[in-house]
Amino acid sequence: MRIATWNVNSIRARAARATAFLERSGTDVLAMQETKCTPAQFPAEAFEEAGYHVAVHGLNQWNGVAVASRHPILRVHDHFPGQPAFGDPAVVEARALGVVIDVSGALEGAPGSPAPAELTVWSLYVPNGRELDHPHYAYKLEWLAALRAQARGWLDADPAALVALVGDWNVAPQDQDVWDMAAFEGATHVSAPEREAFAAFAEDGWIEATRARTTNYTYWDYQRLRFPKNEGMRIDFAYASPALEARITSARIDRDERKGKGASDHVPVILDVR
DNA sequence: ATGACTGCTGAGAGCAGA
Task: Determine the pLDDT at residue A112.
Answer: 78
Question: Which positions of A are annotated as active-site residues?
Answer: 125, 168, 266
Give the domains, in start order, of chain A with CATH numbers: 2-273 (3.60.10.10)
Task: Please tell me what DSSP assigns to residue A26.
Answer: T
CA–CA gap between residue A143 and residue A165 (Å, rounded)? 14
A129 CA from B9 C1′ (Å): 23
Task: Determine the pLDDT at residue A121.
Answer: 98
* Residues in chain A where the model's pLDDT stays below 50: none
A 67-126 residues, CB < 7 A, strand B: none
Could you report the per-residue pLDDT of A21-55, keeping only the tens digit for each? 999 999 999 999 999 999 999 999 999 999 999 99
**A7 labelled ligand-binding:** yes
CA–CA gap between residue A199 and residue A79 (Å, rounded)? 22
Burial A154-168 (b: 16+ CB within 10 A, else e): bbeeeeebbbbbbbb
Task: Determine the pLDDT at residue A247.
Answer: 97
A189 CA from B18 C1′ (Å): 8
Task: Determine the pLDDT at residue A258.
Answer: 97
B15 nearest neighbour residue (CA to C1'): A62
Task: Determine the pLDDT at residue A22.
Answer: 98
> What nucleotide is nearest A264 when CA is compared to C1'?
B6
CA–CA gap between residue A118 and residue A103 (Å, rounded)? 5
A33 CA from B2 C1′ (Å): 37
> What nucleotide is nearest A38 when CA is compared to C1'?
B8
CA–CA gap between residue A28 and residue A71 (Å, rounded)? 7
Task: Determine the pLDDT at residue A155.
Answer: 98
Cα–Cα distances in angstroms (integers) from residue A82 to residues A14, A122, A198, A199, A236, in the given order: 31, 15, 18, 20, 23
Tell me, yes or no, if the pTM score tops 0.75. yes
CA–CA gap between residue A220 and residue A202 (Å, rounded)? 26
Task: Determine the pLDDT at residue A110.
Answer: 75
Task: Determine the pLDDT at residue A97.
Answer: 98
**A108 labelled ligand-binding:** no
**A236 labelled ligand-binding:** no
CA–CA gap between residue A152 and residue A142 (Å, rounded)? 15
- What separation, in Å, do the N-terminal and C-terminal C-alpha atoms of chain A show? 6
